[in-house]
Amino acid sequence: MKVAVLSFAHVHAAAYLTLLRDMPGVEVLASDPDTEFAAPGEIRGRAFAEGHGVPYANTYEEVFASRPDAVIVCSENARHRPLVELAAAHGVDVLCEKPLATTVADGEAMVAACRAAGVRLAVAFPVRFSPAYAAVKRAVAAGETGRVLTVSGANNGHMPTRARRWFADPELAGGGALMDHTVHLADLLDDLLAARAVEVYAQTNNLLYADEVAAETSGLVTVVYDNGTVATIDCSWSHPRSHPTWGGLELTLVGEHATLEMDAFDQKLHGHSERHGRTLEIPFGVDLDARMLRAFLFGPGPDGMDVADGDGGLRTLRIVAAGYESARTGTPVAVPAPVPGRPRGVPTA
């Protein structure tokens, strides 16, 4: 199987290259020609590919001339659409980094292009492959919680501009922390509840790092679902630069009969380094990116979890768009219903 990585703009590109390079039965190729928005000191292009031991193509056209079986789009958010449409035009399945797009209109066009071409469109939400989330999903499905009343989630992290400056560029990223960190929890809730988000209320600010970026760095999003569940999502870039890890994702679910708590990234050894003079956290356990890539390329794993499809990515994007409108107006905003004829759960292709 031949898999290509298109663009190294996203921080996850490095992990994907390494995982694909070491995956039996997979031949990997990469291309990153659009580097004009890279900040000084950011390694991109051929040097990045060679540093990860992966063959490099100078253009995307060269990539598709090699007839890949699948591609992974890791460009800046605003550049997702042209690369996904390019893959669709070549009849190639595509895994697109999250969020699906920066606007609902672009997301709808991407889903439509892949559906018309008969190719699979998936969105990179690796947290759904967490064993902690799998345990929560099993408990809810078995009725152990009863009806889910409320969910409180937090996806906090450090300023991503330390790795890639464009994450805080509203034009390239589509926003700031709300765009970057709302979607992971929104995807878990989309999978867990099988309910439609009907209303969003959000507040954002730039009190953190106001001297560095113009985008919002903190946010709190409240989502009401059509089954009565109310969820809150803290999507802030609130971890200080001194924090030993990038951040994490936590969720508390309150049901009629039980309360469940999960931490998607708490498989760590905690300690202090005398040599470095700081606290250390060393992760262990499963690699969520590896599980996601295997599900995309070879199908769901033993627990049945599959990658989010394009329609799922579009549903999370509609929540984000409503969140930005709510933050701008200071009022709750209704989430538009799906287009008639495309019921929830129908595959993209």
Amino acid 341: pLDDT? 45
Structure confidence at residue 349 as a pLDDT band (50, 70, 90): very low
Cα torsion angle, 7, 12, 13, 19, sign: negative
Tokens representing 349 are 């292709």
Nearest to 306 by CA among 315, 314, 297: 297
pLDDT digits (tens, 9 = 90+) for 209-257: 999 999 999 999 999 999 999 999 999 999 887 776 778 999 999 999 9
Tokens representing 139 are 């408990």
Nearest to 124 by CA among 161, 77, 91: 77
Are 142 and 255 a contacting pair, CB within 8 Å?
no
Strands 70-73, 2-6: pairing is parallel
Look at residue 312 and tell me whether its pLDDT is greater than 80: yes
Are 12 and 77 a contacting pair, CB within 8 Å?
no
pLDDT digits (tens, 9 = 90+) for 146-171: 999 999 999 999 999 988 999 999 99
Residues 190, 320: Cα–Cα separation, whole Å: 13
pLDDT digits (tens, 9 = 90+) for 50-74: 999 999 999 999 999 999 999 999 9
Amino acid 339: pLDDT? 67
Residues 75, 83: Cα–Cα separation, whole Å: 8
pLDDT digits (tens, 9 = 90+) for 123-141: 999 999 999 999 999 999 9
> DSSP secondary-structure letter at 165?
G
Residues 181, 108: Cα–Cα separation, whole Å: 21
